[in-house]
């Protein structure tokens, strides 16, 4: 009886065999071509694509120390897994490790940090957790104590933006990689257009940013060309890969997405995509093709005199805020009340996630994690 | 009909019992001898979801960005809402909207 049932089941779900290997049963649609393929071939296609993106775009050089920005979420977990596989398989010669940021918020990051600690063992990648305390001398809890709940979002926004860079510098990384995918970049294009943020719009489609800064960042899933063919990895692909590979990741925020603005963009894009499947790639392309008039004055980029971080001012925003904190004048440097809705307002393009929802009230309003 | 449901990517947080795996017994609608994905979705909405059903269901289907697998096969290859379920099937719902 069981076998008959099993057979029927097979019959029902295997209308077709995989169009790549012509052997195993098709289980998935290939994201770009919509061919029906099996899970094994899906792995191969995905891993080969990432490999080619890395090679064609010269993302790495042998011997480099590469920090994988690891939040414990799906994207960075897939990135850590795939990159360590490819590094072995194709002898990239990279010295890979996981880099996580602990903001020092009691009960907030604990679960996702536990996930990253398991990933360290699962993938055999050394893990470095840098804390706000280490980076800034203050935990987020202490900052909140000093300034109250009202303005803390200015601090966590600014501090988060810099934390990965500072953490990577601390452990002498040559490069940072993050798990941003095509959906993220499409959202960012849309948000930058809505905000009229031209400087960021022009950068946000690049696969590598900050090449002039101390530590370049690259996003192998985000966007790249490979022999004229665009390769963009979508969130759905990463989720599918993580599910079938049984990767251990932490589903943070999701649902209560505290950042309404980005949440709205995401929802909007998903609805567009339902009507027009190419919507995500179209938005990215339009962002890329945006031409900025040569007479437009762009903010000049320099570096912070104190910490060396990219800044258009003498002191970067983090150093100004720290100054205030350390001198007991925490309000110093909090000029704009709207900081929370302008989540991307720094010089280095970074996309934010809105992870925890279960976090304490101080994150109920915004709570972005910076990977 | 006994089914195994798995919720992931944060969808599990919407449920009354916030765990990933659920063994459930879905009753057929009276007069019907089969359970389709359409039936299952409305059953899940009525029986398992505690809050914010709109994060899971949109219209009569799942919200865009939710990955659905029937016995580890993309439900789009099995007939989407019209896919007929069978005893001991395993259905997976994963929100793909968030990463990090
Ligand atoms: Zn195959
Ligand atoms: Zn905040
Ligand atoms: Zn500085």
**Tens-digit pLDDT profile for residues A27-84:** 988 766 778 999 999 999 899 989 988 998 889 999 999 999 998 888 889 999 999 9
pLDDT confidence band for A180 (50 / 70 / 90): confident
State pLDDT tens for residues A76-116: 899 999 999 999 999 999 999 999 988 887 766 777 788 89
Intra-chain end-to-end CA distance of chain B, in Å: 37
Mean pLDDT of A183-207: 76
The answer to whether A100 and A71 have CB atoms below 8 angstroms apart is yes
- Domains recognised in chain A with CATH numbers: 40-289 (3.40.50.620), 300-334 (no CATH)
The pLDDT-based confidence of A257 (bands split at 50, 70, 90) is: very low
Q: Alpha carbon of A67 to those of A70, A95, A172, A292, A346: distances in Å?
A: 9, 8, 9, 33, 21
CATH 2.40.30.10 fits B2-95, yes or no: no
Give the sign of the dihedral formed by CA A270, CA B49, CA A71, CA A343: positive
Strands B57-58 and B84-85: unpaired
Q: What is the pLDDT of residues B59-88, one digit of tens each?
A: 889 988 889 999 999 998 988 999 999 999
B63/A254 Cβ within 8 A: no
Q: Count chain A–chain B contacts defined by CB atoms under 8 A.
A: 122
- At B57, which helix (H) or strand (E)? strand B57-58
Residue A15, pLDDT score: 62
Spatial distance between the Cα atoms of A261 and B37, rounded to a whole number of angstroms? 33
pLDDT at A99: 94
Only one residue has tokens 């001398």, namely A137
**Whole-number pLDDT of residue A258:** 47
Q: Give pLDDT, residue B63.
A: 87
Q: Which ligand is nearest to the CA of A366?
A: 2
Taking a C-beta distance cutoff of 8 angstroms, is the pair A71, A252 a contact? yes
Strand residue runs (E) in A285-368: 302-303, 310-311
B22 in Cβ contact with B48 (< 8 Å): yes
Window from A158-167, A279-288, A347-356 with minimum mean pLDDT? A347-356
Average pLDDT of the residues in A207-211: 60
- Whether A221 contacts chain B with CB within 8 A: no
pLDDT of residue A152: 57
Nearest to A74 among B13, B74, B99 (CB): B99
Show residues of chain B in contact with A354, CB under 8 Å.
Answer: 98
User: Residue A112 annotated as binding?
Assistant: no
User: Following CA atoms B56, B58, B60, B64 in sequence, which dihedral angle do they give, to the nearest 10 degrees?
Assistant: -80
Measure Cα distances from A77 to A12, A68, A98, A129 in Å: 33, 9, 10, 15
pLDDT at A269 over 80: yes
pLDDT at residue A102, rounded to an integer: 86
pLDDT-derived band at A222, boundaries 50, 70, 90: confident
- pLDDT score for A128: 92
Tell me which of A6 and A95 has the higher pLDDT.
A95
* Span A1-20, average pLDDT: 61
Residues in chain A: 371
pLDDT at B8 over 80: yes
Q: Which two tokens stand for residue A276?
A: 């027009």
pLDDT at A108: 65
CA–CA distance, A147 with A325 (Å, rounded to integer): 8
Q: What is the pLDDT of residue A294?
A: 63
Per-residue pLDDT band for A8 (boundaries 50, 70, 90) equals low
What is the residue-averaged pLDDT of chain A?
Answer: 75
Nearest chain A residue to B90 by CA: give it.
Answer: A9
CA distances from A294 to A139, A298, A302, B38, B39 (A): 43, 9, 20, 54, 58
Is residue A248 a known part of a binding site? no
Structure tokens of A95?
């010295």
Beta bridge partners of A256: none
* Among A3-17, A117-131, A310-324, the range of highest mean pLDDT: A117-131
Domain ranges (residues) in chain B: 2-95
- pLDDT tens track for A329-370: 666 665 544 433 333 333 333 333 333 333 333 333 333 322
Helix (H, G, I), strand (E, B) or coil at A172: coil
Nearest CA in chain A to B98: A254
Q: What is this model's ipTM? A: 0.89
A47-71 burial, b at 16+ Cβ within 10 Å, e below that, comes to bebbbbbbeebebbeeeeebbbbbb
Is A284:A182 a contact under the CB 8 Å cutoff? yes
Q: Name the residue of chain B whose CA is nearest to A241's CA.
A: B96
Inter-residue contact A68 to A218 (CB < 8 Å): no
Q: Which residue has the tokens 């009230």?
A: A361
> Which of B8, B11, B78 faces A243 most closely, judged by CB atoms?
B8
> Does A184 count as an annotated binding residue?
yes
Contact A22, A41 (CB under 8 A): no
Q: Confirm whether residue A71 is marked as ligand binding.
A: yes
The total of other beta-carbon atoms located within 10 Å of residue B2's CB is: 11
């Amino acid at each position: 009886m069981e076998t008959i049932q099993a057979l029927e089941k097979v019959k029902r779900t295997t209308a077709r065999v995989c169009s790549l290997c012509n052997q195993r049963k098709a289980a998935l649609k290939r994201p770009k071509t919509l061919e029906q393929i099996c899970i094994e071939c899906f792995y191969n296609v995905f891993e080969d694509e990432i490999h080619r993106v890395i090679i064609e775009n010269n993302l790495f050089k042998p011997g480099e120390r590469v920090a994988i920005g690891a939040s414990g979420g799906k994207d960075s977990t897939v990135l850590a897994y795939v990159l360590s596989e490819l590094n072995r398989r194709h002898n990239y010669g990279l010295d890979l490790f996981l880099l996580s940021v602990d903001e020092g918020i009691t009960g907030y990051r604990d679960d996702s940090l536990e996930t990253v600690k398991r990933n360290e063992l699962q993938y055999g990648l050394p893990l470095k957790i840098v804390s706000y305390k280490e980076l800034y001398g203050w935990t987020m809890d202490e900052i909140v104590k000093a300034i109250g709940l009202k303005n803390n979002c200015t601090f966590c926004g600014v501090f988060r933006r810099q934390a990965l860079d500072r953490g990577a510098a601390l452990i002498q990384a040559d490069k940072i990689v993050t798990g941003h995918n095509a959906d993220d970049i499409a959202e960012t294009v849309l948000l930058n257009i809505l905000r009229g943020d031209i400087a960021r719009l022009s950068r946000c489609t690049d696969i590598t940013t900050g090449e002039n800064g101390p530590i370049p960042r690259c996003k192998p899933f985000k966007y790249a060309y490979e022999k004229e063919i665009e390769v963009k990895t979508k969130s759905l692909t990463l989720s599918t890969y993580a599910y079938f590979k049984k990767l251990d990741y932490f589903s943070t925020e999701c649902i209560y997405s505290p950042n309404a603005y980005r949440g709205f963009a995401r929802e909007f894009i998903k609805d567009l995509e339902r009507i027009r499947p190419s919507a995500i790639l179209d938005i990215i392309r339009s962002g890329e093709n945006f031409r900025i008039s040569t007479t437009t004055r762009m903010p000049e980029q320099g570096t912070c005199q104190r910490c060396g971080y990219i800044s258009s001012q003498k002191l970067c925003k983090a150093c100004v805020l720290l100054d205030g904190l350390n001198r007991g004048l925490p309000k110093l440097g909090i000029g704009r009340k709207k900081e929370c809705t302008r989540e991307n307002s720094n010089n280095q393009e970074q996309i934010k996630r809105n992870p925890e929802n279960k976090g304490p009230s101080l994150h109920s309003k915004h709570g972005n994690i910076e990977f | 009909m006994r089914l195994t449901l798995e919720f992931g990517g944060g969808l599990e947080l919407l449920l009354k019992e916030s765990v990933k795996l659920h063994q459930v017994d879905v009753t057929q609608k009276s007069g019907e001898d089969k359970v389709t994905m359409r039936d299952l979705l409305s059953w899940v909405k009525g029986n398992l979801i505690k809050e914010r059903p709109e994060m899971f269901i949109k219209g009569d289907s799942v919200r865009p960005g939710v990955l659905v697998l029937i016995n580890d096969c993309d439900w789009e290859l099995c007939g989407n809402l019209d896919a007929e379920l069978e005893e001991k099937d395993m259905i997976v719902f994963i929100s793909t909207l968030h990463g990090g």
